[in-house]
Amino acid sequence: MINVGVIGYGYWGPNLVRNFSEVPGSRVAAVCDQQPERLVQLQARYPIIKTTTDPYDLYKDASIDAILIATPVSSHFDLAMKAVHAGKHVLVEKPMTATVEQGERLLEEAARCQRVLMVDHTFVYTGAVRKMKELVETGQLGQLYYYDSVRVNLGLFQHDVNVLWDLAVHDLSIMDYVLNARPTAVAATGMAHVSGQPKDLAYLTCFFDSNLMAHFHVNWLAPVKVRRTLIGGDRRMIVYDDLEVSEKIKVYDKGITLNNGQDQRYQLMVGYRSGDMWAPQLESTEALRRESQHFVECIEKGQQPLTDGEVGLRVVRILEAATHSLAQRGRPLEMHWEGAVA
C-alpha cells in the first residue's frame, strides 16, 4: 500500500485525492494547503485524511511514501526538491518547473535519491491521445507533415505565468508523446492585453529536422472554447477534437498523390486522394485513474514512468525558449538536445 500526501487542494488537488483514494494499492494519508478553509471542505468529504497547512508535516511523516504536488508552478521546484530529499517519490503538476535550470537540478536530485519523479501530463493517459500515438507509431499516417493545435477560451488568467505555460503545456506534452520528436527551433508571437498581466494570447511554431512542423495557438480571451488538433501525414490525417463527446478522434483517408505530368521536364502533378473517415472507439477509463495506477506501479516495481522527469524537462525547455522568442516578436531560437531522437 502506497501512502500519498497531497500538497495543494485548489483546482486539481481534489481530483488527485479522489483518484488516489480509489486506486487499488494506494491511499491518501494527508493533505496540505495554505488555505485552511479548503481543508475544512476536504474533511467534510474525507474525514479520515489528516490535514495540515505546513508541507513539512508531510515530508517528515515516515508513513508517507509519495508526495503529489498540485500548487502554482513557481512553487514546484522547491516543494519537489524537498520531497525528494526527504526520500519521497514525487508526482508534480505540469509544467514540472518554472525554468530549465530548476528542472535539471530536480532530475539530478531525483536520480541521486533514486526516487520516482513523474510529471502529471494527464492528456498522455487519455484514450484519445493513446489512440493517436498508436496511429502515428504504426505508420498509419505515413510521413508526418504537420501538427497543429488550437486551445482557446475565455479562461482564468494565471498571474504567475503566461498563456503558453498555462495552456500550450498541455499540447506540448501531447505532441512530445505522440510524435516522439524534438524541435530544432522555436518561434513564438503573442500579446498581453491587460496591463501588468502576462501574455494572454500566443502562437508558437516548432521546427524539426524533417519537413514536419508544429504550431500551437493558445488564448485566454476567446469567446468560444476550441480544443482541436490536426495531424497531417502523407497517408492519412487526424482531427482530434477534445470537445466532442464520443468521437474525439477522426481519421481521414485523405492525402495527396504525386505523378509526373505528361511533360516530365516541367512539373510534378499534385493530385488529391479522398476516402473514408473513421472514428475509432476510444478507451473510456478516466485518464487520471490510469495515470494514478501507473504512478503506484512505478513505485512498487521501481520502473520509469511514461511521463518522467526527462519528459517534463523537454516540455519546460520548449516553453522557456518560446517565452524568449515571444519577447522578440517571433525571432526563431535554436534548440539543442543531447542524444536527440529527431
**Binding flag, residue 205, a second copy (CB under 8 A):** yes
Q: Which residue in 85, 207, 235, 286 binds a second copy (CB under 8 A)?
A: 207
Burial class (CB in 10 A: 0-12, 13-18, 19+), 150: middle
| Residues in region 122-151 near a second copy by CB under 8 A | 145-146, 148, 150
**Binding flag, residue 190, a second copy (CB under 8 A):** yes
Q: How many CB atoms lie within 10 A of CB 83?
A: 29
Q: Which residues on neighbouring strands pair with residue 146, listed in sequence order?
A: 213, 232
- Asked if residue 286 lies in contact with residue 313, where contact means CB atoms within 8 angstroms, the answer is no
**Binding flag, residue 328, a second copy (CB under 8 A):** yes
**Binding flag, residue 281, a second copy (CB under 8 A):** yes
Closer of 60 and 331 to a second copy (Cβ): 331
- Asked if residue 139 lies in contact with residue 147, where contact means CB atoms within 8 angstroms, the answer is no
Residues touching a second copy: how many (CB under 8 A)?
70
Residue 89, classed as helix, strand or coil, is: strand
**Binding flag, residue 278, a second copy (CB under 8 A):** yes
**Binding flag, residue 256, a second copy (CB under 8 A):** yes
Q: What are residue 165's phi and psi, to 5 degrees?
A: -70, -25
Question: In angstroms, rounded to a whole number, what is the distance separating the alpha carbons of residues 132 and 177?
Answer: 9
Residue 14, classed as helix, strand or coil, is: helix
Nearest approach, Cβ of 325 to a second copy (angstroms)?
8
Residues near 334 by Cβ (< 8 Å), separated by ≥ 6?
184, 185
**Binding flag, residue 306, a second copy (CB under 8 A):** no
Indicate the helix (H) or strand (E) that contains 145.
Answer: strand 144-154
Nine-digit cell string for 280: 475509432
Nearest approach, Cβ of 165 to a second copy (angstroms)?
16
Using the contact rule CB under 8 A, the part of the chain among 80-88, 187-195, 288-296, 308-316 near a second copy is 187-195
**Binding flag, residue 224, a second copy (CB under 8 A):** yes
Q: Which residues on neighbouring strands pair with residue 188, listed in sequence order?
A: 204
Contact footprint for a second copy (CB under 8 A): 45, 47, 145-146, 148, 150, 152, 154, 157, 159, 185, 187, 189-197, 201, 203, 205, 207, 211-213, 215, 217, 219, 221-225, 230, 232, 234, 237-239, 243, 245-247, 250, 252-256, 258, 267-268, 270, 272, 274-281, 328-332
